[in-house]
Amino acid sequence: MKVFGCRNQYSYGGGLVLVAANTKEEAYLTAAMDEETSYMFDWADDDYMWCEPDGNINHCTSAEYPLGKWFEVEHLSTDLTEPKVIIEDHYSE
């Protein structure tokens, strides 16, 4: 699998998340649904009302790790066969 990452975009923050996945979108949703990182993602339905995480990428946003800022870490790969958060470490004020 490939490795995707995103630097923390939150004001007065820093850090990084790395995720094993096949695509950037899969990496984003993996982080959004992970028990340890899901609190940094918000879910809203088509009417912009809060909803339970439903796996629909269009319903998910994150101030810390916005989808548009994710990138493939081209020199890293993993032998994992399922998408998984590898590491997340951040600081935000």
Structure tokens that stand for 42 in this block: 């918000």
| The predicted structure's pLDDT at residue 70 | 98
- pTM for the model stands at 0.94
- Given this model, what pLDDT does residue 93 score? 82
pLDDT at res. 92: 82
Nearest in space to 38 (alpha carbons), one of 18, 65, 20, 14: 65
Structure tokens at 50: 């809060």
> At residue 31, what is the residue type?
A
Low-confidence ranges of the chain (pLDDT < 70): none
Q: Where are the domains of the chain?
A: 2-92
Structure tokens at 27: 């990496």
Angle CA 21–31–56, to nearest 5? 90
